[in-house]
Structure 1
Amino acid sequence: MAEQAVLVIPARWASTRFPGKPLAVIAGKPLIQWTWEAAKRCRKAREVVVATDDRRILDAARAFGAQVELTRSDHRSGTDRMAEIASRIRSDLYVNLQGDEPAVDPEEIDRLIDAIGAAPITTFRRKLQPDEAENPNVIKVVCDRRGYALYFSRAVLPFVLKVGRDVPRWAHVGIYAFRSKALRKFAGFGPGELEQAESLEQLRALENAMSILTVPTAMRCLGVDIPEDIERVERILKQR
Protein backbone atom coordinates (compact mmCIF):
# COMPACT_ATOMS: atom_id res chain seq x y z
CA MET A 1 0.00 0.00 0.00
CA ALA A 2 1.36 3.43 -0.95
CA GLU A 3 2.46 5.49 2.02
CA GLN A 4 0.75 8.72 2.94
CA ALA A 5 1.90 11.51 5.22
CA VAL A 6 0.60 14.20 7.50
CA LEU A 7 1.74 17.51 6.01
CA VAL A 8 2.49 20.14 8.65
CA ILE A 9 2.87 23.84 7.89
CA PRO A 10 4.56 25.55 10.87
CA ALA A 11 3.58 29.22 11.12
CA ARG A 12 4.74 31.60 13.82
CA TRP A 13 4.02 35.28 14.21
CA ALA A 14 7.30 36.49 15.69
CA SER A 15 9.62 36.47 12.69
CA THR A 16 12.61 38.71 13.38
CA ARG A 17 12.78 40.17 9.87
CA PHE A 18 9.06 40.08 9.08
CA PRO A 19 6.65 39.91 12.06
CA GLY A 20 3.24 38.56 11.09
CA LYS A 21 4.60 37.15 7.83
CA PRO A 22 2.13 34.22 7.53
CA LEU A 23 -0.74 36.69 7.21
CA ALA A 24 0.97 39.02 4.74
CA VAL A 25 -1.33 39.41 1.75
CA ILE A 26 0.16 38.02 -1.49
CA ALA A 27 -1.94 38.49 -4.64
CA GLY A 28 -5.12 38.77 -2.62
CA LYS A 29 -4.58 35.90 -0.14
CA PRO A 30 -2.61 35.39 3.10
CA LEU A 31 0.80 33.90 2.46
CA ILE A 32 0.00 30.84 4.59
CA GLN A 33 -3.07 30.14 2.46
CA TRP A 34 -0.97 29.77 -0.70
CA THR A 35 1.12 27.04 0.92
CA TRP A 36 -1.94 25.30 2.38
CA GLU A 37 -3.74 25.25 -0.98
CA ALA A 38 -0.69 23.71 -2.67
CA ALA A 39 -0.36 21.13 0.10
CA LYS A 40 -4.01 20.13 -0.26
CA ARG A 41 -3.28 19.11 -3.85
CA CYS A 42 -0.73 16.49 -2.74
CA ARG A 43 -2.01 12.99 -3.50
CA LYS A 44 0.10 11.55 -0.68
CA ALA A 45 -1.30 13.90 1.96
CA ARG A 46 -3.50 12.13 4.49
CA GLU A 47 -3.99 15.40 6.38
CA VAL A 48 -2.70 18.97 6.04
CA VAL A 49 -2.28 20.82 9.34
CA VAL A 50 -1.29 24.42 10.01
CA ALA A 51 0.67 24.52 13.30
CA THR A 52 0.88 27.92 14.96
CA ASP A 53 1.54 29.56 18.31
CA ASP A 54 -0.58 32.63 17.54
CA ARG A 55 -4.36 33.02 17.68
CA ARG A 56 -4.38 35.55 14.84
CA ILE A 57 -2.93 32.92 12.52
CA LEU A 58 -5.25 30.30 14.03
CA ASP A 59 -8.33 32.41 13.27
CA ALA A 60 -7.18 33.31 9.74
CA ALA A 61 -6.38 29.68 8.88
CA ARG A 62 -9.76 28.51 10.12
CA ALA A 63 -11.43 31.25 8.06
CA PHE A 64 -10.04 29.82 4.79
CA GLY A 65 -10.91 26.26 5.81
CA ALA A 66 -7.64 24.85 7.12
CA GLN A 67 -7.21 22.27 9.82
CA VAL A 68 -5.15 24.17 12.39
CA GLU A 69 -3.56 23.33 15.74
CA LEU A 70 -2.35 25.74 18.41
CA THR A 71 1.14 24.81 19.66
CA ARG A 72 3.61 25.95 22.29
CA SER A 73 5.50 29.20 21.66
CA ASP A 74 8.93 27.98 22.80
CA HIS A 75 9.81 25.63 19.92
CA ARG A 76 13.32 26.07 18.55
CA SER A 77 12.40 25.19 14.96
CA GLY A 78 9.57 24.28 12.63
CA THR A 79 10.48 20.62 13.00
CA ASP A 80 10.14 20.85 16.78
CA ARG A 81 6.70 22.37 16.26
CA MET A 82 5.84 19.51 13.88
CA ALA A 83 6.91 17.02 16.55
CA GLU A 84 4.26 18.45 18.88
CA ILE A 85 1.65 17.89 16.17
CA ALA A 86 2.94 14.32 15.76
CA SER A 87 2.22 13.69 19.44
CA ARG A 88 -1.45 14.43 18.70
CA ILE A 89 -1.92 13.10 15.15
CA ARG A 90 -0.42 9.66 14.52
CA SER A 91 1.19 8.83 11.19
CA ASP A 92 4.15 6.87 9.83
CA LEU A 93 5.35 9.90 7.88
CA TYR A 94 5.35 13.66 8.46
CA VAL A 95 6.31 16.40 6.02
CA ASN A 96 7.48 19.84 7.16
CA LEU A 97 6.40 22.48 4.62
CA GLN A 98 7.64 26.02 5.02
CA GLY A 99 4.69 28.37 5.38
CA ASP A 100 6.43 31.13 3.45
CA GLU A 101 6.77 29.18 0.19
CA PRO A 102 3.68 30.09 -1.87
CA ALA A 103 4.77 28.28 -5.05
CA VAL A 104 5.64 24.84 -3.69
CA ASP A 105 4.90 22.07 -6.22
CA PRO A 106 2.53 19.41 -4.80
CA GLU A 107 3.80 16.79 -7.26
CA GLU A 108 7.32 17.25 -5.92
CA ILE A 109 6.08 16.77 -2.37
CA ASP A 110 4.50 13.49 -3.46
CA ARG A 111 7.81 12.48 -5.03
CA LEU A 112 9.68 13.28 -1.81
CA ILE A 113 7.33 11.01 0.13
CA ASP A 114 7.77 8.22 -2.42
CA ALA A 115 11.57 8.54 -2.23
CA ILE A 116 11.99 8.08 1.52
CA GLY A 117 12.32 4.29 1.39
CA ALA A 118 14.34 3.14 4.39
CA ALA A 119 15.81 6.59 5.08
CA PRO A 120 14.82 8.30 8.34
CA ILE A 121 14.67 11.76 6.74
CA THR A 122 14.49 13.02 3.16
CA THR A 123 14.83 16.52 1.74
CA PHE A 124 15.51 18.21 -1.60
CA ARG A 125 18.61 19.48 -3.36
CA ARG A 126 18.78 21.49 -6.56
CA LYS A 127 21.60 22.75 -8.71
CA LEU A 128 23.32 25.77 -7.20
CA GLN A 129 23.49 28.74 -9.55
CA PRO A 130 26.85 30.56 -9.87
CA ASP A 131 25.47 33.81 -8.49
CA GLU A 132 24.19 32.02 -5.36
CA ALA A 133 27.50 30.62 -4.13
CA GLU A 134 28.35 33.60 -1.90
CA ASN A 135 24.80 34.18 -0.67
CA PRO A 136 24.46 33.00 2.96
CA ASN A 137 20.67 32.83 2.59
CA VAL A 138 21.04 30.08 -0.03
CA ILE A 139 21.92 26.94 1.92
CA LYS A 140 24.46 24.61 0.34
CA VAL A 141 24.69 20.86 0.77
CA VAL A 142 27.34 18.30 -0.12
CA CYS A 143 26.38 14.64 -0.47
CA ASP A 144 27.92 11.22 -0.71
CA ARG A 145 27.55 9.07 -3.82
CA ARG A 146 24.20 7.71 -2.65
CA GLY A 147 22.76 11.19 -2.16
CA TYR A 148 22.99 11.28 1.63
CA ALA A 149 23.96 14.66 3.07
CA LEU A 150 27.47 15.08 4.41
CA TYR A 151 27.05 18.70 5.50
CA PHE A 152 24.87 21.79 5.08
CA SER A 153 26.27 25.31 5.25
CA ARG A 154 25.65 28.96 4.49
CA ALA A 155 29.25 29.16 3.27
CA VAL A 156 30.61 28.29 -0.18
CA LEU A 157 30.54 24.51 -0.31
CA PRO A 158 32.59 22.71 -1.47
CA PHE A 159 35.63 24.95 -1.73
CA VAL A 160 37.36 24.28 -5.06
CA LEU A 161 41.13 24.70 -4.81
CA LYS A 162 41.92 23.90 -8.44
CA VAL A 163 40.53 26.57 -10.75
CA GLY A 164 38.42 25.16 -13.57
CA ARG A 165 37.65 21.86 -11.86
CA ASP A 166 34.03 20.92 -12.48
CA VAL A 167 32.47 19.92 -9.16
CA PRO A 168 28.69 19.56 -8.75
CA ARG A 169 27.32 22.10 -6.32
CA TRP A 170 23.94 21.82 -4.70
CA ALA A 171 21.54 24.14 -2.94
CA HIS A 172 19.24 22.82 -0.26
CA VAL A 173 15.46 23.18 -0.63
CA GLY A 174 14.15 23.18 2.93
CA ILE A 175 11.25 20.73 2.81
CA TYR A 176 11.60 17.55 4.88
CA ALA A 177 9.87 14.19 5.19
CA PHE A 178 10.41 12.34 8.48
CA ARG A 179 9.70 8.83 9.62
CA SER A 180 7.77 9.13 12.89
CA LYS A 181 10.55 7.45 14.89
CA ALA A 182 13.15 9.80 13.40
CA LEU A 183 11.01 12.84 14.17
CA ARG A 184 10.70 11.84 17.84
CA LYS A 185 14.43 11.20 18.01
CA PHE A 186 15.27 14.54 16.37
CA ALA A 187 13.01 16.50 18.73
CA GLY A 188 14.60 14.77 21.72
CA PHE A 189 18.04 16.21 21.00
CA GLY A 190 19.08 19.64 22.18
CA PRO A 191 20.44 22.13 19.63
CA GLY A 192 24.04 21.30 18.77
CA GLU A 193 27.00 23.60 18.28
CA LEU A 194 26.87 23.45 14.48
CA GLU A 195 23.11 24.02 14.39
CA GLN A 196 23.51 27.11 16.55
CA ALA A 197 26.55 28.40 14.69
CA GLU A 198 24.94 28.23 11.24
CA SER A 199 21.32 28.56 12.41
CA LEU A 200 20.40 25.44 10.42
CA GLU A 201 18.16 22.92 12.17
CA GLN A 202 19.11 20.07 9.81
CA LEU A 203 22.61 20.07 11.29
CA ARG A 204 21.10 18.77 14.53
CA ALA A 205 20.37 15.53 12.72
CA LEU A 206 23.87 15.19 11.28
CA GLU A 207 25.49 16.06 14.60
CA ASN A 208 23.62 13.14 16.12
CA ALA A 209 24.44 10.63 13.34
CA MET A 210 20.98 10.74 11.75
CA SER A 211 21.08 10.26 7.97
CA ILE A 212 19.36 12.67 5.59
CA LEU A 213 18.69 11.48 2.04
CA THR A 214 18.63 14.32 -0.50
CA VAL A 215 16.45 14.06 -3.60
CA PRO A 216 17.36 16.07 -6.74
CA THR A 217 14.70 18.53 -7.88
CA ALA A 218 14.31 21.37 -10.34
CA MET A 219 11.85 23.11 -8.02
CA ARG A 220 12.79 26.67 -7.10
CA CYS A 221 10.94 27.90 -4.06
CA LEU A 222 10.19 31.61 -4.06
CA GLY A 223 10.64 32.36 -0.36
CA VAL A 224 9.22 35.41 1.40
CA ASP A 225 11.77 36.54 3.97
CA ILE A 226 11.23 40.30 4.17
CA PRO A 227 8.38 42.67 3.18
CA GLU A 228 10.30 43.73 0.07
CA ASP A 229 9.94 40.17 -1.30
CA ILE A 230 6.17 40.52 -1.69
CA GLU A 231 6.24 42.46 -4.96
CA ARG A 232 8.66 39.99 -6.55
CA VAL A 233 6.62 36.97 -5.47
CA GLU A 234 3.34 38.49 -6.63
CA ARG A 235 4.84 39.14 -10.04
CA ILE A 236 6.00 35.52 -10.38
CA LEU A 237 2.68 34.10 -9.18
CA LYS A 238 0.74 36.20 -11.68
CA GLN A 239 3.02 35.01 -14.51
CA ARG A 240 2.27 31.40 -13.54
Structure 2
Amino acid sequence: MRAVVLIPARYASSRYPGKPLIPLLGKPMVLWVAELSAKAVGKENVYIATDDTRIESVVKDAGFQALMTSTSCLTGTDRLAEAALQLNADIFINVQGDEPIVDPDDIRKAIAIKKQDMSNIVNGYCWISEHECPESVNIPKVITTEDNILVYMSRKTLPGFKESKYAPTRFKKQVCIYAFTAEELLAFKAFGRKSELEYSEDIEILRFFELGRKIQMYETQSGSLAVDVPADVAPVEAALKRLHVG
Protein backbone atom coordinates (compact mmCIF):
# COMPACT_ATOMS: atom_id res chain seq x y z
CA MET A 1 0.00 0.00 0.00
CA ARG A 2 1.22 3.46 -0.85
CA ALA A 3 0.75 6.10 1.84
CA VAL A 4 1.27 9.78 1.05
CA VAL A 5 1.18 12.89 3.19
CA LEU A 6 -0.93 15.78 1.98
CA ILE A 7 -0.43 19.12 3.70
CA PRO A 8 -3.26 21.61 3.06
CA ALA A 9 -1.89 25.14 2.92
CA ARG A 10 -4.19 28.09 2.38
CA TYR A 11 -2.81 31.62 2.28
CA ALA A 12 -6.06 33.46 3.04
CA SER A 13 -6.59 32.20 6.59
CA SER A 14 -9.32 34.19 8.32
CA ARG A 15 -7.57 34.18 11.70
CA TYR A 16 -3.99 34.46 10.43
CA PRO A 17 -3.51 35.46 6.77
CA GLY A 18 -0.37 34.04 5.21
CA LYS A 19 0.02 31.54 8.04
CA PRO A 20 1.78 28.74 6.07
CA LEU A 21 4.60 31.12 5.18
CA ILE A 22 5.19 32.75 8.55
CA PRO A 23 8.84 32.29 9.55
CA LEU A 24 9.58 30.09 12.54
CA LEU A 25 13.25 30.42 13.44
CA GLY A 26 13.70 31.83 9.94
CA LYS A 27 12.01 28.97 8.04
CA PRO A 28 8.44 29.09 6.63
CA MET A 29 6.12 27.03 8.82
CA VAL A 30 4.89 24.82 5.97
CA LEU A 31 8.48 23.67 5.36
CA TRP A 32 8.88 22.58 8.99
CA VAL A 33 5.81 20.40 8.52
CA ALA A 34 6.93 19.08 5.13
CA GLU A 35 10.41 18.16 6.37
CA LEU A 36 9.05 16.28 9.40
CA SER A 37 6.51 14.50 7.19
CA ALA A 38 9.32 13.47 4.86
CA LYS A 39 11.04 11.74 7.75
CA ALA A 40 7.95 9.56 8.09
CA VAL A 41 7.13 8.68 4.47
CA GLY A 42 10.02 9.94 2.33
CA LYS A 43 10.21 13.26 0.54
CA GLU A 44 8.82 11.75 -2.66
CA ASN A 45 5.57 10.97 -0.84
CA VAL A 46 4.96 14.45 0.58
CA TYR A 47 2.71 16.92 -1.24
CA ILE A 48 1.51 20.41 -0.33
CA ALA A 49 -2.05 21.09 -1.50
CA THR A 50 -2.51 24.82 -2.04
CA ASP A 51 -4.43 27.38 -4.06
CA ASP A 52 -1.74 30.06 -3.82
CA THR A 53 1.25 30.46 -6.10
CA ARG A 54 3.32 32.07 -3.32
CA ILE A 55 3.08 28.88 -1.28
CA GLU A 56 3.66 26.76 -4.38
CA SER A 57 6.85 28.68 -5.15
CA VAL A 58 8.26 28.33 -1.64
CA VAL A 59 7.67 24.59 -1.38
CA LYS A 60 8.98 23.87 -4.88
CA ASP A 61 12.13 25.92 -4.23
CA ALA A 62 12.68 23.68 -1.19
CA GLY A 63 12.37 20.56 -3.34
CA PHE A 64 8.84 19.55 -2.35
CA GLN A 65 5.89 18.80 -4.60
CA ALA A 66 2.87 21.12 -4.78
CA LEU A 67 -0.61 20.23 -5.97
CA MET A 68 -2.73 23.18 -7.03
CA THR A 69 -6.37 23.19 -5.98
CA SER A 70 -9.27 25.57 -6.45
CA THR A 71 -9.83 28.67 -4.33
CA SER A 72 -13.38 27.58 -3.46
CA CYS A 73 -12.55 24.69 -1.09
CA LEU A 74 -14.70 24.88 2.04
CA THR A 75 -12.08 23.28 4.31
CA GLY A 76 -8.66 21.73 4.27
CA THR A 77 -10.23 18.28 3.92
CA ASP A 78 -12.14 19.43 0.84
CA ARG A 79 -8.80 20.67 -0.52
CA LEU A 80 -7.28 17.25 0.14
CA ALA A 81 -10.11 15.61 -1.74
CA GLU A 82 -9.25 17.69 -4.81
CA ALA A 83 -5.56 16.89 -4.42
CA ALA A 84 -6.22 13.17 -3.97
CA LEU A 85 -7.73 13.02 -7.45
CA GLN A 86 -4.29 13.91 -8.78
CA LEU A 87 -2.51 11.03 -7.04
CA ASN A 88 -2.40 7.25 -7.05
CA ALA A 89 -2.24 6.14 -3.40
CA ASP A 90 -4.06 3.90 -0.94
CA ILE A 91 -3.77 5.99 2.21
CA PHE A 92 -3.83 9.77 2.38
CA ILE A 93 -2.39 11.28 5.54
CA ASN A 94 -3.52 14.81 6.27
CA VAL A 95 -0.93 16.67 8.30
CA GLN A 96 -2.04 20.20 9.00
CA GLY A 97 0.32 22.91 7.88
CA ASP A 98 0.13 24.63 11.27
CA GLU A 99 1.58 21.68 13.24
CA PRO A 100 5.33 22.41 12.90
CA ILE A 101 6.44 20.11 15.73
CA VAL A 102 4.55 17.06 14.51
CA ASP A 103 6.34 13.81 15.41
CA PRO A 104 7.16 11.61 12.37
CA ASP A 105 6.47 8.54 14.53
CA ASP A 106 2.89 9.74 14.99
CA ILE A 107 2.48 9.92 11.21
CA ARG A 108 3.78 6.37 10.87
CA LYS A 109 1.43 5.29 13.66
CA ALA A 110 -1.58 6.74 11.82
CA ILE A 111 -0.63 4.76 8.72
CA ALA A 112 -0.27 1.52 10.70
CA ILE A 113 -3.66 1.98 12.41
CA LYS A 114 -5.35 2.75 9.10
CA LYS A 115 -3.90 -0.39 7.55
CA GLN A 116 -5.39 -2.47 10.37
CA ASP A 117 -8.91 -1.37 9.40
CA MET A 118 -9.27 0.63 6.20
CA SER A 119 -12.96 1.29 6.95
CA ASN A 120 -12.10 3.56 9.90
CA ILE A 121 -11.02 7.16 9.58
CA VAL A 122 -8.04 7.80 11.85
CA ASN A 123 -7.30 10.96 13.84
CA GLY A 124 -4.80 11.81 16.57
CA TYR A 125 -5.21 13.24 20.03
CA CYS A 126 -3.04 14.02 23.03
CA TRP A 127 -3.67 15.24 26.55
CA ILE A 128 -3.89 18.99 27.14
CA SER A 129 -0.82 20.07 29.08
CA GLU A 130 -0.80 22.03 32.30
CA HIS A 131 0.48 25.02 30.35
CA GLU A 132 -2.61 25.12 28.10
CA CYS A 133 -6.10 26.32 28.91
CA PRO A 134 -8.82 23.71 28.28
CA GLU A 135 -11.33 26.55 27.94
CA SER A 136 -9.57 28.01 24.89
CA VAL A 137 -11.80 27.92 21.81
CA ASN A 138 -8.66 27.41 19.72
CA ILE A 139 -8.25 23.90 21.17
CA PRO A 140 -10.78 21.30 19.96
CA LYS A 141 -11.56 18.97 22.87
CA VAL A 142 -11.98 15.28 22.05
CA ILE A 143 -14.62 12.99 23.56
CA THR A 144 -14.16 9.28 22.95
CA THR A 145 -15.43 5.95 24.12
CA GLU A 146 -13.08 3.98 26.33
CA ASP A 147 -11.69 2.25 23.24
CA ASN A 148 -10.97 5.61 21.59
CA ILE A 149 -13.80 5.81 19.08
CA LEU A 150 -14.76 9.45 18.56
CA VAL A 151 -18.05 10.44 20.17
CA TYR A 152 -17.78 14.19 19.63
CA MET A 153 -15.32 17.04 19.30
CA SER A 154 -15.99 20.54 20.59
CA ARG A 155 -14.43 23.90 21.27
CA LYS A 156 -16.31 23.84 24.55
CA THR A 157 -14.60 22.30 27.56
CA LEU A 158 -15.87 18.72 27.49
CA PRO A 159 -16.74 16.31 29.04
CA GLY A 160 -19.02 18.21 31.37
CA PHE A 161 -19.95 17.28 34.93
CA LYS A 162 -22.90 17.70 37.27
CA GLU A 163 -20.91 18.07 40.49
CA SER A 164 -17.36 19.29 40.96
CA LYS A 165 -16.29 15.99 42.50
CA TYR A 166 -16.95 14.35 39.13
CA ALA A 167 -14.96 16.87 37.12
CA PRO A 168 -12.38 15.30 34.78
CA THR A 169 -8.79 15.74 35.87
CA ARG A 170 -7.51 16.09 32.31
CA PHE A 171 -8.80 16.66 28.79
CA LYS A 172 -7.98 15.28 25.36
CA LYS A 173 -7.30 17.63 22.46
CA GLN A 174 -7.21 16.98 18.74
CA VAL A 175 -3.87 16.56 16.99
CA CYS A 176 -4.31 17.28 13.30
CA ILE A 177 -2.99 14.08 11.79
CA TYR A 178 -5.64 12.14 9.89
CA ALA A 179 -5.69 9.01 7.71
CA PHE A 180 -8.20 8.66 4.87
CA THR A 181 -8.86 6.65 1.76
CA ALA A 182 -9.65 8.45 -1.48
CA GLU A 183 -13.25 7.24 -1.21
CA GLU A 184 -13.62 8.82 2.24
CA LEU A 185 -12.24 12.13 1.03
CA LEU A 186 -14.48 12.19 -2.02
CA ALA A 187 -17.56 11.33 0.06
CA PHE A 188 -16.68 14.20 2.41
CA LYS A 189 -16.45 16.66 -0.48
CA ALA A 190 -19.58 15.28 -2.17
CA PHE A 191 -21.63 16.26 0.89
CA GLY A 192 -21.42 19.67 -0.73
CA ARG A 193 -21.57 21.90 2.33
CA LYS A 194 -20.53 22.18 5.94
CA SER A 195 -22.76 20.15 8.25
CA GLU A 196 -24.60 22.02 10.99
CA LEU A 197 -22.27 20.76 13.73
CA GLU A 198 -19.21 21.39 11.59
CA TYR A 199 -20.38 24.93 10.89
CA SER A 200 -21.08 25.74 14.55
CA GLU A 201 -17.90 24.23 15.96
CA ASP A 202 -15.66 25.02 12.98
CA ILE A 203 -14.29 21.46 13.23
CA GLU A 204 -14.36 19.80 9.84
CA ILE A 205 -14.08 16.17 10.93
CA LEU A 206 -17.60 16.45 12.37
CA ARG A 207 -18.95 16.28 8.81
CA PHE A 208 -18.10 12.58 8.77
CA PHE A 209 -20.80 11.97 11.41
CA GLU A 210 -23.39 12.90 8.78
CA LEU A 211 -21.87 10.26 6.52
CA GLY A 212 -22.06 7.58 9.20
CA ARG A 213 -18.30 7.07 9.31
CA LYS A 214 -16.44 5.61 12.28
CA ILE A 215 -13.47 7.64 13.53
CA GLN A 216 -10.71 5.85 15.40
CA MET A 217 -8.73 8.20 17.61
CA TYR A 218 -5.20 7.33 18.69
CA GLU A 219 -2.85 8.88 21.20
CA THR A 220 0.12 10.81 19.86
CA GLN A 221 3.19 12.13 21.61
CA SER A 222 2.45 14.85 24.13
CA GLY A 223 3.46 18.44 23.52
CA SER A 224 1.62 19.05 20.26
CA LEU A 225 1.38 22.78 19.53
CA ALA A 226 -0.38 24.42 16.60
CA VAL A 227 -0.17 27.97 15.28
CA ASP A 228 -3.73 29.28 15.12
CA VAL A 229 -3.15 32.96 15.91
CA PRO A 230 -0.07 35.25 16.06
CA ALA A 231 0.23 34.77 19.82
CA ASP A 232 1.03 31.08 19.21
CA VAL A 233 4.27 31.84 17.35
CA ALA A 234 6.48 32.51 20.39
CA PRO A 235 5.68 29.27 22.28
CA VAL A 236 6.01 27.23 19.08
CA GLU A 237 9.41 28.79 18.31
CA ALA A 238 10.50 28.01 21.86
CA ALA A 239 9.45 24.40 21.37
CA LEU A 240 11.32 24.22 18.06
CA LYS A 241 14.47 25.50 19.72
CA ARG A 242 14.24 22.80 22.34
CA LEU A 243 13.67 20.08 19.75
CA HIS A 244 15.95 21.12 16.90
CA VAL A 245 18.48 23.61 18.20
CA GLY A 246 19.10 23.04 21.87
Distance 1:178 1:154 in 2: 23
Q: Is 1:195 aligned to residue 198 of structure 2?
A: yes
Distance 2:41 2:47 in 1: 15
The match for 1:125 is 125
The match for 1:209 is 212
- Report SS of the residue matched to 1:174: strand
Larger mean Cα displacement after TM superposition, 5-14 or 175-184 = 175-184
Structure 1, unaligned runs of 5 or more: none
Identify which of 64, 67, 70 aligns with 1:66: 64
* Residues 1-240 of structure 1 aligned to structure 2 (within 5 Å): 3-43=1-41, 47-116=45-114, 117-118=116-117, 119-129=119-129, 132-165=133-166, 167=168, 169-189=171-191, 190-240=193-243
Deviation of 1:169 (Å)? 3.3
Residue 181 and residue 45 in structure 1: after superposition, are their counterparts in 2 closer, same or farther (change >3 A)?
Answer: farther
Distance 1:33 1:185 in 2: 29
Distance 2:156 2:22 in 1: 30
CA contact (8 A) 1:44 1:113 kept: no
Task: State the TM-score, normalized to the length of structure 2.
Answer: 0.90
Larger mean Cα displacement after TM superposition, 149-158 or 183-192 = 183-192
Residue 57 and residue 44 in structure 1: after superposition, are their counterparts in 2 closer, same or farther (change >3 A)?
Answer: closer
Distance 1:185 1:90 in 2: 17
Deviation of 1:229 (Å)? 2.6
Quick one: which amino acid aligns to residue 127 of structure 1? W
CA contact (8 A) 2:99 2:176 kept: no
- Report SS of the residue matched to 1:238: helix
Distance 1:69 1:179 in 2: 18
Deviation of 1:92 (Å)? 1.2
Distance 1:105 1:149 in 2: 22
Residue 78 and residue 212 in structure 1: after superposition, are their counterparts in 2 closer, same or farther (change >3 A)?
Answer: same
Distance 1:227 1:128 in 2: 20
Residue 71 and residue 43 in structure 1: after superposition, are their counterparts in 2 closer, same or farther (change >3 A)?
Answer: closer
Aligned length: 238
Quick one: which amino acid aligns to residue 179 of structure 2? A
CA contact (8 A) 2:126 2:224 kept: no
Residue by residue, what CA displacement relative to the aligned partner does 1:94-151 show, whole Å, maximum 9, x if unpaired?
A: 0111111111101111011101222431001212346532111111111123211011
Identity of aligned residues (%): 36
* Structure richer in helix, relative to its length: 2
Structure 2, unaligned runs of 5 or more: none
- Report SS of the residue matched to 1:164: helix
